[in-house]
Structure 1
């Protein structure tokens, strides 16, 4: 992002999926509930005087990062097969988010929801940025 650039933050909150994940023998051959949170910082260069321009062209999906595309790719990645580490899954999801060249930075949180009976979750959060 350049100095003075506009940005927007897009997010996906609390996407709960069944995932084949884990390093231990008891985690293989079954799925576990995971929760995914994605935050994307997006370069956003709106046209000048957006409010004074006609509505045609402003309300256009091509102008934005489509969250449905991100969610569908996330679901496909989780469904692709067994992953040992939540860290590996988080890295894969960060790559998905950064695949759109407008995404400058992403924060990905992956949590296992049923690991400990006395904890809501256990997991990892990573932040990755586009290399210039």
Structure 2
């Protein structure tokens, strides 16, 4: 599959982390998503119903980030992958969760976890 929909830099405030202060104060998380699917039907019909509506996908992803807290961004990424794969047209999805405010006692730019899952055939 070579067709992709990419959503980059989706930012939402969540309360994920292993430390109490992360749960209490919350922090911004940034999510990147790549969906692999056949975009031919949408290209031919010019109808949003024939593709993944990325605005609606963004709403569902933000609901996960702002929802129930988890300890690890690996768990958060897995939950976000589940959302991406609910549409049966998506053959595989890659999710990167960035935690730019992670409690690391050194100067750094970003901490991120990337996970890819395909649909079981």
Runs of 4+ in 1 over 3 A off after TM superposition: 44-47
Larger Rg: 1
> Residues 46 and 120 from structure 1, CA distance in 2 versus in 1: closer, same or farther, beyond 3 angstroms?
same
Does the residue aligned with 1:28 lie in a helix, a strand or coil?
Answer: helix
Higher helix share: 2
- Answer yes or no: is the 8 Å Cα contact 1:98–1:105 preserved in 2: yes
- Which residue in the other structure is 2:67 paired with? 80
- Structure 1 stretch 75-84 or stretch 101-110: which is displaced more? 75-84
2:17 to 18, 22, 33: 22
Look up the match of 1:38.
33
Partner of residue 52, structure 2:
65
Unpaired segments ≥5 residues, structure 2: none
* Residues 65-93 of structure 1 deviation map (CA, whole Å, 9 limit, x = unaligned): 11011100001111212111101110011
2:97 corresponds to which of 103, 110, 113: 110
Q: Note the C-alpha offset of 1:33.
A: 1.1
Once the two structures are superposed, residues 10-47 of structure 1 have per-residue CA deviations (whole angstroms, 9 ceiling, x without a partner) of: 01101111111101222221211111000000134439
Give the TM-score, by structure 2 length. Answer: 0.89
Q: What's the C-alpha RMSD, in Å, of the aligned pairs?
A: 1.7
Aligned counterpart for 1:99 among listed residues 52, 70, 86 = 86
Contact preservation (8 Å) 2:29, 2:65: no
Give the 3 Å change call, closer, same or farther, for CA 121–14 of structure 1 in structure 2.
Answer: same
Q: Report the Cα distance in structure 2 between the residues aligned to 1:75 and 1:42, rounded to whole angstroms.
A: 22
Residues matched between the structures, number: 118
